[in-house]
A = this chain, B = another copy of it.
Amino acid sequence: MGNSNQVGTKMYQWATALFPICRSLTGQGVRDTLKYLQQEIPDLTIESIKSGQQVFDWQIPQEWNIDHAYIENEDGERIIDFANSNLHVVGYSEPVDKVVELEELNQHLYSLPEQPDAIPYITSYYQRRWGFCLTENQRKQLTDKKYRVKIASSLLDGELNYGQLLIKGKSEKEIFLSTYICHPSLANNELSGPVVTTALAQWISSLKSTEYSYRIVFVPETIGAITYLSKHLEQMKVNTLAGFVVTCVGDNNDYSFVPSRSENSVADKVALHALNHYVDSFQQYTFLQRGSDERQYCAPGVDLPVCSVMRTKYGEYPEYHTSLDNLDVISAKGLQGGFDILQQCIKLLESNFKYQVTVLCEPQLGKRGLYPTLSSMTEDYTDVITMMDFIAYCDGEHDLIDIANKINVYAMDLVALSKRLCKEGLLTKKGL
């Protein structure tokens, strides 16, 4: 599997630094997160759009910020405190400061009877509400008659922020990476996406040259993706070769795949080839099991070739959307695996040319030192057979992945061979 965990360790450190920040669709937490990432990717720009602006069918919500929040019992003890976990407050809660009876309080409390030690992650972005999330065990201890509830939040006209990085390649055709930065203290879903995307951005930036251009965005989920598309859709429809939603890429368990809506885009083809050859096994989901920003990127009329290559998919692990999705769920190794598989997808895209053999009939490989000069039954001809098979499909119609699928090898294992044969003048490279 190639890479050591060096990049994984770096990514885990970033995740650790970012974990405590209270992110939401908008607000200081998002800006702090983007600024942190900007230190790692100097060319990342932080963009903004004002509250109230219309983006397609949606409106940019007010900016939400929160200073502190708690529930105090009759003894004045803070039994639930935002300072302990930013999951304790329902996202986008309006400010509140009053004493309520337990019965009323209960209507504003969210817990998980099945996971009594987990604080659920709850938001109410588009309906004014206030609420607290707590563990079922904490809830059971609420026996006082009255409680003071305090949420020192603000909902004010402000802005929604997102990050954008454009890297110029030889072609205007783009590879698109999208991740989201709107989740508070949650590790796999979702700090893994931003940190893996950051490491990929660093790696791509470090390359001397790339075939394709890159468009990499860090957006609040849903509203951020919609906002971004509302500004760039026309250009993206023309230029996007393949795109990936980077999410849930930090745990040690499964690999997973959600196809694009068309199910047969270049992104799907590349992702499936990488997953089939580079990792031991993976879960294949359908587009019906989508759940992140591919919902926007693949919507009718948007129709971008965007799929999701993940480790364990959102909703498919018990810690999902609870306080248990903490830094223990992800690891340097897990993040490294997420980075590696996406890096393979990008390498495949950068290599996936069509080739045309320059001679009619099989080339005389022997005179070029590429073929054993003695026929015999005892030698291992695996490499020669692979070369012959590869050449046999270099008809200018099949691309590298098509051929690799035909001859049951990993396309990356054909790259050196294709370069050698081009150098020998036996192949010419054609565009994708």
Contact = CB atoms under 8 A, between A and B. Distances in A.
Interface string A50-91: 000000111100000000000000000000000000000011
A35 interface: no
Given A120-B377, A300-B392, A392-B295, A233 B360 contact: yes
A123 interface: yes
A76 B90 CA distance: 99
A374 B295 contact: no
Given A373-B126, A373-B127, A375-B122, A395 B359 contact: no
Contacts of A288: 389, 406-408
A367 B126 contact: yes
A393 interface: yes
A321 interface: yes
Contacts of A302: 360-361
B296 A377 contact: no
A161 interface: no
Contacts of A366: 126-127
Contacts of A91: 375
Contacts of A321: 377
Contacts of A361: 56-58, 225-226, 229-230, 296, 299, 302
A226 B360 CA distance: 9
Given A302-B360, A361-B296, A374 B56 contact: no
Interface string A107-136: 000101000000011111111010000000
Given A58-B364, A233-B360, A374 B129 contact: yes
A121 B360 CA distance: 28
Contacts of A121: 375
B300 A395 contact: yes
Contacts of A215: none
A242 interface: no
Interface string A18-30: 0000000000000
A265 to B, nearest CB: 14
Given A129-B374, A375-B123, A57 B363 contact: yes
A72 to B, nearest CB: 24
Contacts of A123: 374-375
A120 B392 contact: no
Contacts of A378: 112
A395 B303 CA distance: 10
A362 B376 CA distance: 62
A298 interface: yes
B373 A112 contact: no
A261 interface: yes
A2 interface: no
12 contacts: A56-B361, A57-B364, A58-B361, A122-B376, A124-B373, A126-B367, A129-B374, A230-B360, A298-B392, A300-B393, A300-B394, A303-B395
Given A124-B374, A261-B392, A303-B395, 20 more contacts: A56-B360, A58-B361, A90-B374, A91-B375, A120-B377, A124-B375, A129-B374, A230-B360, A230-B361, A261-B393, A287-B392, A288-B407, A288-B408, A295-B362, A296-B361, A299-B362, A300-B391, A301-B357, A301-B395, A321-B377
